[in-house]
Amino acid sequence: MIIKSILTVFILTLISFNLYAETPNWIHQLPFSDDAFWGVGQGVTVEEAEILAKQEILMQMSSRVEAVISMETGAGGGTENVTEDLDAFFSGNSLRGAELVDQFNEDNQFWILMKYCDECGNSLLKSALIRFEDTYRYEIPILMAQLTDKRIAHAFIVERRLKELQLTDYRSDDIIVRFSDMQVIIMIINFIPYEAKLSVSQRTGLDTLSKSLLKELNKLNYRSIDVVGHANPTSAEDEKNDLMELSQIRAETMSSHLSSAGLTINSVSWKGGNETIGDTTSSKGKGLNRRVEIFVNF
């Protein structure tokens, strides 16, 4: 009887754990490593999710080859059909040897994480280059060196993801967002003079941003997030230390807010009033200087 009770408790514990299991991080943030190509698929069946995960990997490969061919041959190099050619080449591949790493299901939906070994992937990339060498006229060794450069490969993934998300520069009364190569810069401006707490307007803007941009950034495999606090400078020498402390508290406040949104912060720093971007005498300029900058690096 005692053994039966123990087994019952054990089984119920397992069921409870499964019901409340956290969503795996790889669903939101595609893994990136030097030894494999990764893909995530979602479907109503395991089979459908697996097919989509493989398509994700093949799409990455196609995008990489297209990018290096376009860069090597240059604009007007007769690459008008390269996208269609590569899509046809890769879509016909079964990706034999791809490994199912993990799976998750919730509400009748299945997620599959798959990886394709680096050696197999590079072999397929080279096959694509050989297939279209005569069509687009390039040196295979040069392009293969670019395709196997991990930093460049990572850049391809991020660039494609940002394009898919259709993210664009954004500005409101209290928030400025700018996109540049391998970096997203978010500026929270117009802090109340000599205060570090977020205003109602700033909180509203950040809540809106959290539902869109921050949510999507958390899905990307960003390398680091750096938060920097600032203040509007003053001519009074005895206030400079106070401004440094103020910019520190502003940065730490913003870091806490981002952490609560699920983002990992790598560094927090502060500059006082030493780095201005606006006129230190006008109301608008002072508002720009009373800011926190968030650098999302890919």
185 or 170, greater pLDDT: 185
* Residue 277 confidence (pLDDT) above 80: yes
For residue 140, what are the CA distances in angstroms to 53, 136, 153?
Answer: 28, 11, 17
pLDDT confidence of residue 99: 94
34-59 average pLDDT score: 91
* Residue 279 confidence (pLDDT) above 50: yes
Tokens 């050696």 found at: 119
DSSP state of 263: P
> Among 55-64, 114-123, 164-173, 178-187, which is the least confidently predicted range?
164-173
Q: The tokens of 123 are what?
A: 């072999």
pLDDT confidence of residue 171: 81
Sequence letter at residue 125 = L
List the domains of the chain with CATH numbers: 2-164 (3.10.129), 169-297 (3.30.1330.60)
User: What is the average pLDDT value for the chain, to the nearest integer?
Assistant: 83
Q: For 58-83, how does the pLDDT look when each residue is reduced to its tens digit (9 = 90+)?
A: 988 888 888 888 888 764 455 668 88
Give the range with max mean pLDDT: 126-130, 147-151, 166-170: 126-130
* Dist CA 10 CA 22 (whole Å): 20
* Residue 243 confidence (pLDDT) above 60: yes
283 CB-contact burial (10 Å; exposed 0-12 / middle 13-18 / buried 19+):
exposed
* Residue 8 confidence (pLDDT) above 70: no
Q: For 97-147, how does the pLDDT look when each residue is reduced to its tens digit (9 = 90+)?
A: 899 999 999 888 999 999 999 889 999 999 999 999 988 888 999 999 988
> Among 9-13, 268-272, 273-277, which is the least confidently predicted range?
9-13
* Residue 84 confidence (pLDDT) above 80: yes
289 CB-contact burial (10 Å; exposed 0-12 / middle 13-18 / buried 19+):
buried
* Residue 13 confidence (pLDDT) above 70: no
pLDDT confidence of residue 159: 67
* Residue 92 confidence (pLDDT) above 90: no
* Dist CA 208 CA 210 (whole Å): 5
Phi-psi region of 233 (alpha: psi -120 to 50; beta: other; left: phi over 0): beta
Give the range with max mean pLDDT: 36-50, 153-167, 213-227: 36-50
75 or 291, greater pLDDT: 291
* Residue 9 confidence (pLDDT) above 60: no
* Dist CA 192 CA 199 (whole Å): 7
